[in-house]
Structure 1
Amino acid sequence: MALDQQRNWDISMAQNLHKIMRLDDTAATTQQKDGILNSEKRNAEAGSRTWNTEPIYLPDEIILQIVEYIANFRPYSQRTLASCCLLSHQWYSAAVPLLYERPVLYGNNFEPFLRAMCPSINLHIRKSVRAELVKSLNMANLVHQGSRSLTARLLGRTKGGLEEFVAPQASFAINCLPALSKCVRLRVLDLSLVSESPPLPELFKTVSHLNELRSFRLPRSAGFGAHHATTDLPWPPNLEDLTLSGGIDGHFLVGVVAFPQTLRSITIEHCPQVKGFALVHLLRTAIRPLRRLESLKIRHMPRLSTRALDNVLFLLPQLKKLSVSVDYITPAVFDEDHFSMLAKEPYIVPSQTAHWSEAHQSFPLDLATDDHDHEQTSLPPQQQHSLRTLELTSSGNPGVEDKITPIDVMIAIEEGTLPNLRQVRVTKSLHWHNSATAQDAEALADVLQERNKREWFEVRGLTIPEGESEDGSGVRAIMEGEERPWERSAGVWMFDG
């Protein structure tokens, strides 16, 4: 009897356990299904959710600071600014001026941008208010997009506020000049990428009326020749930065005798026809009289000899920054005796009636005189060089890495040839950072910083303390500071290029 009761009790316990396990499995399955359904429901609600409360109000000043912070990260900020315009009318009003101020144009977004700027071919039918927001129109990344008529139309629509224009390679031509002449606020005009330059007389006539123009880059396809009246080219009245490039030949270099006195910076690059004697003559007759000139850059001139510009510092003592390819200079560029020798030699200036063939024969590289109809003058006495920044680049010719070394620059400083030099910038392709010259470059940087430190204290009427002694004027605190002000503006820098 007891055994039967025990057996029945065990069977009942087993059945109850089986029921409980089945219930747990059923509950787990149900919960899993409910979880999936709830998740799908939540996703569906999230996709179609609408705000039931008023959005948080932010003052206009805060929103303006936010969108200005975003705009500083161009070109990556363009998509974010476009998203800000979709938030509300308040965000739209704050973000849309920055969105169109400096648009980043490329193949995929050019057509939508064009529709926004030119909703109608006829301006009188439909005008775009957003076109007046554009301050910088950079079309450098556009090659096959658009046409010449579209470029002219864009210039015509954005002329009211346009301050900077970089022309595209293939879609800028003479039909764009009338619209360009109406961009009265234009400050920067870059035509360096234009593959087919418009006639230069028409181009110069157009830009001569742009009173706000400060920087002008000529097309690399520009052709200067004897058929152009180069001596009468009208320059913009307030031009400060000029880049000469293209088919500049001896006719232009000898014929142009006056640049605008407002120039502060000149770049001469990518001129495959220019020879050394003609370029030196241009430096003497047209560039040397520019008393406000501070910066000169010369590079990518394949017909210049290996020492064609050794006298550039002597010819232009007013320069504060010189950027030159080492392909065209030797250490003689820093040699004071070399300058003194040149100062004793007369140089020749062609008369206004001299024919080009005579001038071509009258300017050999050694500056010798001849019997042609010329006016003979003497170079003025040597002046103290104002050069503060020297930038050494390379035009890609092999075997130029060791033409100028840190030791050459250091010797020039110690001999007093370059008393005001504070910065030396060198392209990495010259290998100043290699183990063979790295220590010399560091020594040069120390010399530059030491001279800059002395100048820094002299300008402020302070005395450099000897050792670590306290002089009671707070100089010691400056000397021991983590960021010494004279070190930020003096030294040797390497750059890619």
Structure 2
Amino acid sequence: MVLPFEIILRILNFSEEATCMNHLLICKAVYIMLLPRLYSSPQLNPTNFSKFVEVVSLPKNKKRFKNFVKCLDLSFIIQSGKNSFVSKLLRRFSFSLEIFVASQTSFGISPLISLRLCHNLKVLDLRLVSETVNLRELFSAIKAAPFLEQLSFPRSSITCEDYDLEWPESLWYLRLQGGISNQFLTDSHFPQTITTLEFSHCPNITGESINDLLIRIGYNLTKLSIFYPMPCLKGNSMDTVFLYCPQLTYLYINIEYITKDLFDEELLPPLEEYERPLKTLIVDSSGLLGQGTKIHPDDLTIAICEDRLPCLQSLKVSLMLGWDFKSDAVQYLVSEFDDRGGSVYTL
């Protein structure tokens, strides 16, 4: 090789595919240097998953791939009865694994036990898991992961009788979903480190329990999302969100859970110490009849003109709200955003 080895590697890094398979054929030295990068985040799908498990499970490869995989994304794997495969992968990459996204079906007790070995885990995403997961077992599994920053609950039912749980100290992102109860929200000691909170597919919780949680940790939140459906929420359950979460920069909400009072001066007062930092507001809709009249464009325009949303730059509204985007009310709202360099979009 004419060029120094380090220069060759630097050149490969600037190529369109830094981990191109052809690069591994240059020479053995390049192969050895690029192999960890190639396996750091394997692109797994239903056609190559079994082969991947087979290769990394071979006795001769036990040490070879041990510390390679940092991101294990199984979101494209639709498998049933393969908990042993998932458990085997978690054990094999327990020292290096930082991000784990579970597959779309089962996640039994065996993978939960294997999770206890993943001490460097930073992201645990179980949102696609359809199998019932016991909350006590889940927290027992992540107790040994002191660096965990992001946690997404499974969408299936979760049961737990003991709410005095030990949350990870570094947790800043939390997605709550599944069969969590009102008592879980009111009795659990959620950490103040959480800045991004999401609710999805929670059939049992009410607006009162969500607001009770927001009263305790809402001041620290910068991003809040409440997705449809949440059947126990009332039509005005989330009208007080700005009172409890004054630091929000991003809010995703469904029209089913708010009214025009959300933008009323009593529930959206000007902040005295600083400007309200909200930059992005998304108002979605499921398309249910009668929901589109709950908010009028003028409700937002007045709040903006009165400087109660001084930092708002992006507004996204669902077409299912039924707003007439050629009307004077909507055009005036769009004009207000244009004047401040912002934009109005449709979903």
- Following the alignment from structure 1 to structure 2, what is the Cα–Cα distance between the partners of residues 83 and 58? 19
Q: How does 1:363-442 map to 2 (within 5 A)?
A: 386-399=276-289, 400-401=291-292, 403-427=294-318, 430=321, 434-436=325-327, 439-442=331-334
- Using a 3 Å threshold, how does the CA distance of structure 1 residues 243 and 270 change in structure 2: closer, same or farther? same
CA offsets per residue over residues 222-278 of structure 1, 9 Å max, x none?
A: 424xx6111x0110111111111111222223323x311211111111111222233
- Following the alignment from structure 2 to structure 1, what is the Cα–Cα distance between the partners of residues 122 and 266? 43
Structure 1 residue 265 corresponds to structure 2 residue 196:
yes
Give 5+ residue unaligned stretches, structure 1: 1-54, 73-79, 341-380, 450-490
Paired residue secondary structure (1:221):
coil
Paired residue secondary structure (2:345):
strand
Structure 1 residue 302 corresponds to structure 2 residue 231:
yes
Q: How does 1:98-113 map to 2 (within 5 A)?
A: 98-113=37-52
Aligned residues: 343
Superposed displacement of residue 90, structure 1: 4.0
- Following the alignment from structure 2 to structure 1, what is the Cα–Cα distance between the partners of residues 314 and 171? 26
CA offsets per residue over residues 282-306 of structure 1, 9 Å max, x none?
A: 322x334xx4322211112133222
- Using a 3 Å threshold, how does the CA distance of structure 1 residues 86 and 254 change in structure 2: closer, same or farther? same
- Following the alignment from structure 2 to structure 1, what is the Cα–Cα distance between the partners of residues 141 and 38? 30
The answer (yes or no) to whether the contact 2:124–2:152 under 8 Å persists in 1 is: yes
Normalization by structure 2: what TM-score? 0.87
Superposed displacement of residue 56, structure 1: 7.0
Q: What is the RMSD of the two structures over their aligned residues, measured on CA atoms?
A: 2.9
- Following the alignment from structure 1 to structure 2, what is the Cα–Cα distance between the partners of residues 165 and 178? 14
Paired residue secondary structure (2:25):
coil
The answer (yes or no) to whether the contact 1:194–1:219 under 8 Å persists in 2 is: yes
Structure 1 residue 445 corresponds to structure 2 residue 337:
yes
Identity among equivalent positions (%) equals 32
- 2:257 equivalent in structure 1: 328
Q: How does 1:40-55 map to 2 (within 5 A)?
A: none
- 2:78 equivalent in structure 1: 143
- Quick check: 309-318 or 433-442, which moved more? 433-442
- Using a 3 Å threshold, how does the CA distance of structure 1 residues 126 and 318 change in structure 2: closer, same or farther? closer
- Quick check: 410-419 or 423-432, which moved more? 423-432
Structure 1 residue 240 corresponds to structure 2 residue 183:
no
Question: Relative contact order (C-alpha < 8 Å, sep 6+): which is higher?
Answer: 2
- Using a 3 Å threshold, how does the CA distance of structure 1 residues 81 and 403 change in structure 2: closer, same or farther? farther
Q: How does 1:48-63 map to 2 (within 5 A)?
A: 59-63=5-9
The answer (yes or no) to whether the contact 1:296–1:323 under 8 Å persists in 2 is: yes
CA offsets per residue over residues 472-491 of structure 1, 9 Å max, x none?
A: xxxxxxxxxxxxxxxxxxx1
- Using a 3 Å threshold, how does the CA distance of structure 1 residues 323 and 212 change in structure 2: closer, same or farther? same
- 1:372 equivalent in structure 2: none
Q: How does 1:469-480 map to 2 (within 5 A)?
A: none
Give 5+ residue unaligned stretches, structure 2: none
- 1:492 equivalent in structure 2: 343
Match of 1:278 among 183, 205, 209: 209
- Output the amino acid matched with 1:264: T
Q: How does 1:333-344 map to 2 (within 5 A)?
A: 333-338=262-267
Superposed displacement of residue 111, structure 1: 1.7
Paired residue secondary structure (2:20):
helix
- Following the alignment from structure 2 to structure 1, what is the Cα–Cα distance between the partners of residues 12 and 68? 19
The answer (yes or no) to whether the contact 2:282–2:316 under 8 Å persists in 1 is: yes
Paired residue secondary structure (1:133):
coil
